[in-house]
Chain A
Amino acid sequence: MRIEITRSGGFGGITRTWSLEVSRTEAEQRWLPLAEAEAGAATDARRADAGRADATGPLVDRAQTASGAGPGEAAAPASRTPERGPGQQRDRFTYRISIGYTEVTVSEGRLDESWRELIERARAEGTDGAGHGPP
């Protein structure tokens, strides 16, 4: 099964794409479950963001609400926290990882060891599609 990794953003804003082939077994046992877990976490984070946005806007730490706490509980401590952490990061990379028909977007700061291993493999073994601007 083909895995395609597109990296956008970064200081240069240069989009690059790498891909590699893995066995269907490896994709199903290792990468698809990881992608589904990531998509779930991203949805939780978005819900928490949306809940808090009404209260205090973007001026609080997004990391605190990504932990799975409900928007109500998360908003109180976050609103007194100086804006630091992932919400204030600038010029970092964003990775879009496609595994078959499943696609997930992961910011650089949230990449865990497994995703890093996959990206390293794609960069080392895979083909580099030239980044002709944004897709």
Chain B
Amino acid sequence: MQRIHCGIVPPHLLTRLAALQDPRLSGASSAARHALLELDPVLRERSEALRAPVRRGSAIAGSLTRRIHDAGGREELPGEVVRAEGAPATGDVAADEAYDGLGSTYRLFSEEYGRSSIDGAGKRLDATVHYGSNYDNAFWDGERMVFGDGDGEIFGRFTASLTVISHELTHGFTQYSTNLEYQGQSGALNESLSDVFGVLVEQRDLGQDAASAAWLVGAGIFTPSVRGEALRSLKAPGTAYDDDVLGKDPQPATMADYVETTSDNGGVHINSGIPNHAFYLAATALGGEAWTGVGRVWYDAVLSGTIPPDCDFPTFAQATQDAAGRRFGVDSREAGAVAEAWTRVGVLR
């Protein structure tokens, strides 16, 4: 009754095999790529992105293509195009913030990690602003980022923080790489990757090192009536806000405070505090530009082919340790800082 495309080899293993560069295993690698081709068009893109040579810097400059739409206060997508790539500023703050934020996010992945857009193949970046009326959210719908204007009482417009824009676009990167399932620990890792690369985009734009960065997600989107500086803090999960109406930031920083819940897809926006804090600890232990050190390690881990869609925290932690060892050496400061960070948050012993 069911179609089983690739026998017993799970897709994540096929993806890993497809990415192998070892000439002695070229047969297996080629077979895996062939199997992926039959499996799913997105997996196919993923497999091609993995074996593509890494392109760097100016070699891919100019392939950034953005398109900003305006939903005009309705909950309908995509809305009307208000700014295409290269067009001058519209004068609409949200549309221009979205345009600029997509550019900043694209440049981190392109200029630092050599990736051409979220899919590794130059995909156009689409966003819609002014979605809905008093709409208190920003989301990724599988193809585009969508931003509400907020209700004006608790939330202002969601494009006001670059980290919100970069967070949403990173959901696209995750969709085209590990495709972490949006439930439980894998869902919290999906969220955490968006927070981590979200803050790295901002730190790189501002030229902040790990010690001077704010490590906040969504700073500036609350109205002044809310007691809180942001939605999440990687530096101190659980402290971003404490307000009469909203309650207190529920994020844990360590496994000792892991929250079991059926809400929020099993707490994907809550337990993300744990891998978020591990990243912060490793980045600040090393110092300097977080996007070139631990950020590079996290990026390598995501593309290593060792992260299954249902990845749990320990598996992800091991993947980052392995990635740090490959890039910087197993006895490097980087590998040590990553291992120490995961131990301190209680994920590894």
Chain A interface (Cβ < 8 Å from any Cβ of B): 6, 8-16, 51-52, 54-60, 71-72, 75-76, 79-94, 96, 128, 130-135
Contacts and interface: CB of A to CB of B under 8 A. Distances in A.
Interface string B171-200: 100010001011000000010001000000
Interface in B91-150: 136-143
Given A90-B182, A132-B248, A59 B143 contact: no
A82 B259 contact: no
B215 interface: no
Contact of B142 (A14, A83, A134): A83
A52 B244 CA distance: 44
Contact of A79 (B5, B137, B171, B247): B5
B265 interface: yes
Interface string B226-239: 00000110000000
A55 B179 contact: no
Interface stretch (B36-44, B201-209, B339-347): B36-44
A91 B168 contact: yes
Given A13-B270, A128-B245, A130-B245, A83 B42 contact: yes
B139 A90 contact: yes
Contacts of B269: 9-13, 91
B3 A9 contact: no
Contacts of A88: 140-142, 175
B11 interface: yes
B137 A8 contact: no
**Most central of B139, B143, B267 by chain A CB within 10 Å:** B139
A10 B247 contact: no
A6 B11 CA distance: 36
B266 to A, nearest CB: 10
Contacts of A11: 137-139, 158, 164, 167-168, 218, 231, 269
A57 B3 contact: no
Contact of B263 (A9, A58, A72): A9
Nearest to B2: A55
B140 A12 contact: no
B3 A12 contact: no
Contact of B261 (A51, A128, A134): A134
Given A83-B175, A88-B140, A91-B137, 19 more contacts: A11-B139, A11-B269, A54-B2, A55-B2, A80-B40, A82-B40, A83-B179, A88-B142, A89-B141, A90-B171, A90-B190, A90-B194, A91-B138, A91-B140, A91-B167, A130-B247, A132-B247, A133-B248, A135-B263
B54 interface: no
5 contacts: A13-B232, A57-B309, A75-B2, A89-B141, A94-B263
B231 A79 contact: no
A63 to B, nearest CB: 10
B264 interface: yes
B270 A133 contact: yes
Contacts of A15: 247, 250, 263-264
Given A83-B42, A134-B267, A71 B2 contact: yes
A133 B40 contact: no
Given A82-B41, A88-B141, A94 B4 contact: no
B87 interface: no
B2 A72 contact: yes
B141 to A, nearest CB: 5
A9 B179 contact: no
B246 interface: yes
B86 interface: no
